[in-house]
Amino acid sequence: MAHRFLFEVRDPGRAESESVAQHLAQLDLRLIYSSSRVRLFANQPDAMRRWGKTVAFGHLFERDATPLPGADRSGILDIRCPAEVLQHYWGSYSLCFESDDRVEIMRDPSGMLPCYYGSWDDIFYVASDVPLLCEASGQQPAIDWHELGRTLYVNGLPQRTTALAGIFQLLPGMTLKIVKGRAEETIIWSPWTCVDRQAPNLNTFRQIVLDCITAWATQFPSILIGVSGGLDSSIVALGARHHAELHAFTIATGDPRGDERSFARGLARALNIPLFEATYDLSEVDISRSSFIHAPRPGGRAQLQAYDKLLVDLAKRHSANAFFSGVGGDNVFYLSNSARPLVDRYLMGGTLTDLRSTLLDICRLTGSTPWQVFRQVLQIPRVPGPKYHWRPNAELLAPAVIDHFKEEQLTHPWLEGPVDSLPGKAAHIAMIIRAQGYMEAQDRRFPFDPVHPLMSQPIIEACLSVPSWEACRGGSDRSFTRRAFTGDLPPTVIERRIKGGPDHFALQILRSHLPAIRTRLMDGALLRNHIVDGRALEMALTEASLASGGHYTRILSLLDTEAWIDGWSTADLRPSWL
């Protein structure tokens, strides 16, 4: 099952609440650590590690990818602050560090284990999921309509604030310092510290990636892995292929562009992995339910319901303890069609021969002419200062909402790089930030642990040290990674350039339910609260608009948002996959 935890932080001497323990016991969470200020409740006691007054919960590995044994390991290292844990270990975890005057909660840089917090009656609760926060605190948070509008506007940028009043997200690589009933967030891990490191050679990089995947595979008796026959999921399958109970699956749409089964079959044959094939089932979609009801902000799509239900069914069928995916691979391996690598190479003193080589690589990759690439180069920031500006999504939002939020700069701690930072690396980091948002998508109430090995900290750090122009060398996307795994994967994977996806199924959902969707959105809470533009929405909800492909992604988002609003308004937090 997925790891679930809750830290309760209170002033010393304050009596412990028995009701918290009783409520959490009903969810199979037990008290596994207690001090004068902190209690830790969790569903898997063996996932706790302890060094003196430092307590971590989750999956932890040594820097050489050796799994760190669970239970109390007092005295292994003299851990004096959370930063020292980052130096010696990696994984998917949160930790609590107690000192004389404060308590610090840290979320690891991978972001694989979500972390949310709130404070009620002078007690801080920090948990893996919001349903746990509600259960422990006895609170039912109200929807924050202002922040809900922000969520729709910021276009996937992870934020500290959420769409539930009083609920906050601790971002990856951040610590929450609690001192005398007050809390402050500070950054403890920055991707920019990795950019100037010596890049690994291809063999070393390959070994880092495989070591991380293998380390994850040792943690579970049975693994279900989603594969498409694309580069990222194939690398994960390669690293886990020797696991005795590894089962792969692939899911297709009814349209050839969303059918990747032939690629998945080729991979399964090459690695000798059993493969289950399925197609998206329209009957598994209920437009009145949200696939993101577990989260403190909307962010789901209706098609996720069909995927999640299949996933849960297969996990039960194979008694799988974990679900592995290639999520985040495009981001950490830097899949980019930008001219930024050319600017990076110029700023790093590349010779004319170097610059010509990278220019031609970008032309081959994008199909652009050199002049088209040069025009894009002129638009890329090169002077000291921020090198990446996050683009919002104002699609179908009310003009007043757009006018309000466009005055605010979209920021994130990791976007604040050195003044002389490289624009290609800034974009690379922005892509990793976007991947962090994907980590919130899967419900911690799943009967298995969602694992995305390519988001492991050592892999992220290694990828950030690789110059951006190496990611497009030879005119291939993710070129450095492709070259590292050329001898391990079939040519159909290494040479593949097309990507599939569930777009056809998404449009099928909209067309099949269009009258009900139109009614739900035009009579919905988003319009009543002046968050969406009613006239623009009405024009988008037509067969003609859908036929042209216009707005369908946003419409699916708004549809799931309405279901999310209904769920939190009525305290109906049942998973959509049940």
- Annotate 217-282 with three-state secondary structure: HCCCCCEEEECCCCHHHHHHHHHHCCCCCEEEEEEECCCHHHCCHHHHHHHHHHHCCCEEEEECCH
Q: And the tokens for 121? A: 């009656």
**Distances from the Cα of 546 to the Cα of 123, 500, 504, 519, 542, angstroms:** 49, 20, 11, 16, 6
pLDDT band at residue 11 using 50, 70 and 90 as cut-offs: confident
Instruction: List phi, psi (to 5°) of 392.
Output: -75, 175
User: What digits encode the pLDDT tens for the residues 70-90?
Assistant: 655 544 566 778 888 999 999
What pLDDT sits at residue 376? 97
Strand bridging mode 89-98 / 322-324: unpaired
Any idea what the Cα angle at residue 393 is, between residues 392 and 396, rounded to 5°? 150
Query: What CATH number has the domain bearing residue 26?
Result: 3.60.20.10
- Provide the β-strand partners of residue 445: none
Last residue of a domain, one of 189, 224, 246: 189
User: What digits encode the pLDDT tens for the residues 309-361?
Assistant: 999 999 999 999 999 999 999 999 999 999 999 999 999 999 999 999 999 99
CA dist 427 and 170 (Å) reads: 22
What pLDDT sits at residue 12? 85
The answer for 410, left when phi > 0, alpha when psi is -120 to 50, beta otherwise, is: beta
Query: Stretch 478-485: mean pLDDT, rounded?
Result: 98
Cβ burial, residue 483 (10 Å; 0-12/13-18/19+): middle
Query: Stretch 216-228: mean pLDDT, rounded?
Result: 97
What pLDDT sits at residue 561? 98
Query: Stretch 518-533: mean pLDDT, rounded?
Result: 98
For the chain, the average pLDDT equals 94
Query: Stretch 526-535: mean pLDDT, rounded?
Result: 98
Of the candidates 540, 524, 506, the one whose C-alpha atom is nearest the C-alpha of residue 254 is 506
pLDDT band at residue 497 using 50, 70 and 90 as cut-offs: confident
pLDDT band at residue 546 using 50, 70 and 90 as cut-offs: confident
pLDDT band at residue 505 using 50, 70 and 90 as cut-offs: very high
Q: Is residue 276 part of a domain?
A: no
Decide if pLDDT at 460 tops 90. yes
Number of domains in the chain: 2
CA dist 452 and 209 (Å) reads: 12
CA dist 561 and 525 (Å) reads: 9
Decide: 334 and 428 in contact? Cβ < 8 Å.
Answer: yes
Instruction: List phi, psi (to 5°) of 537.
Output: -65, -45
Decide if pLDDT at 274 tops 90. yes
What pLDDT sits at residue 242? 95
User: What digits encode the pLDDT tens for the residues 96-136?
Assistant: 999 988 999 999 999 999 999 999 999 999 999 999 999 99
pLDDT band at residue 421 using 50, 70 and 90 as cut-offs: very high
Last residue of a domain, one of 132, 160, 189: 189
CA dist 28 and 41 (Å) reads: 10
User: What digits encode the pLDDT tens for the residues 368-408?
Assistant: 999 999 999 999 998 888 999 999 999 999 999 999 999 89
Q: Is residue 151 part of a domain?
A: yes
Q: Which domain holds residue 532?
A: 503-569
Decide: 423 and 380 in contact? Cβ < 8 Å.
Answer: yes
Q: Is residue 328 part of a domain?
A: no
Q: Is residue 409 part of a domain?
A: no
What percentage of the chain has pLDDT greater than the value 90? 86
Cβ neighbours, 10 Å, residue 230: 21
CA dist 526 and 561 (Å) reads: 8
Of the candidates 95, 44, 94, 91, the one whose C-alpha atom is nearest the C-alpha of residue 67 is 91
Give 60 or 385, the one with higher predicted confidence: 60
Q: Is residue 496 part of a domain?
A: no
CA dist 140 and 134 (Å) reads: 6
What pLDDT sits at residue 360? 98
What SS3 string covers 45-109?
HHHEEEECCEEEEEEEEECCCCECCCEECCCCCCCCCHHHHHHHEEEEEEEEEECCCCEEEEECC
Last residue of a domain, one of 139, 158, 189: 189
CA dist 178 and 164 (Å) reads: 21
The answer for 135, left when phi > 0, alpha when psi is -120 to 50, beta otherwise, is: alpha
Q: Is residue 343 part of a domain?
A: no
What pLDDT sits at residue 101? 87
**C-alpha R_g of the chain:** 24
pTM: 0.96
Q: Is residue 64 part of a domain?
A: yes
3-class secondary-structure state, position 450: strand
Instruction: List phi, psi (to 5°) of 49.
Output: -125, 145
Helix (H) or strand (E) holding 568: helix 552-569
Q: Is residue 175 part of a domain?
A: yes
